[in-house]
Amino acid sequence: MLMEKIRAKKEFGQNFLVDDSVLTRIVSCVAPAADDCILEVGPGRGALSRLLAQSGAKFLAVEWDRELLPLLKAEFATAANVEIGHGDILRVDLPLLLGSRGGGKKWKVAANLPYNISSQVLFRFMEHSALFEKLVLMLQKEVGDRLTAPPACKEYGALTVLLRLHFDIRREFIVKPGSFRPVPKVDSAVLSFLPLPEPRVEVGDEELFRRVVKGAFLQRRKTLLNSLRSSGFDDADGTLSAALTRSGIDGGRRGETLSLEEFARLTRELLAGKTLA
């Protein structure tokens, strides 16, 4: 097949999945049904696409590599349920892309995400979580460890807290480097993301919440109070310290020790005290 002769491109972060047993397990996690709408991001040479499309679901694959695009379109030309499109998932208008095609249904997502853009893609999916029923994503194991980490460990960070506000996240299984071509230097992990109907906790203002969380992890060796000060929160009149006190949070703690609920409580107190920088 011409498809098999296409080499992975380093600039796209491509590592093609070639292990049939891993592909089968991913399909099992997606659980495609004939009445589903499924989006695959970065289908590559189409190994997973073929299995997902067999379900009869409305299937949309978005590929950025123009060399692969005509080969994918040719292979699925006779499949009435399949659409192959060109686009960059970081720039495409997801509501526009999926809204008109889904007929009001929520989408399942499958993706083997390039390591270099995985966090950016996760934030895009988070911003539009209402579009999705379920996401099954392959990520670098290190990122997967961060997303499922509990507070007070080195893996726990801003990404953990921000994604947990909108998703139930579960690690499904680990994928070893030998399952890919070319062979990467690290393990991967397949994770399932189930969007929540509402944010897990009330934060008052999500933009402010993100500032608080990112500020808390800006300089992990600093105390929470000093890290938030360094990130731009004004404490000249002691209002930031007062918000921490009202939240029942010791400003001498490190940011990585705070739970999602504590970050939410602090955000609400900052909002009430109007301590925006």
Binding-site sequence positions for S-adenosyl-L-methionine:
15, 17, 42, 63, 88, 112
- Collect all residues with Cβ–Cβ distance below 8 Å to 236 and sequence separation of at least 6: none
Residues in the chain: 277
Q: How far apart are CA 225 and CA 228, in angstroms?
A: 5
User: Are 86 and 73 within 8 A, CB to CB?
Assistant: no
β-pair partners for 38? 59, 108
Q: Do the strands 58-63 and 107-112 form a parallel or antiparallel pair, or are they unpaired?
A: unpaired
Q: Do the strands 37-41 and 107-112 form a parallel or antiparallel pair, or are they unpaired?
A: parallel
Measured from the Cβ of residue 217, the count of other Cβ atoms closer than 10 Å reads 20
Sequence-ordered alpha helix ranges (H) in the chain: 20-30, 47-53, 69-75, 94-102, 118-127, 141-147, 158-164, 206-216, 224-230, 239-247, 260-273
CA 273 to chain centre: 32
C-alpha separations of 273 from 139, 166, 253 in Å: 39, 25, 21
Handedness of CA 32, 35, 37, 42 (dihedral sign): positive
Annotated binding site: 15, 17, 42, 63, 88, 112
User: Which has the closest alpha carbon to 62: 18, 101, 17?
Assistant: 101
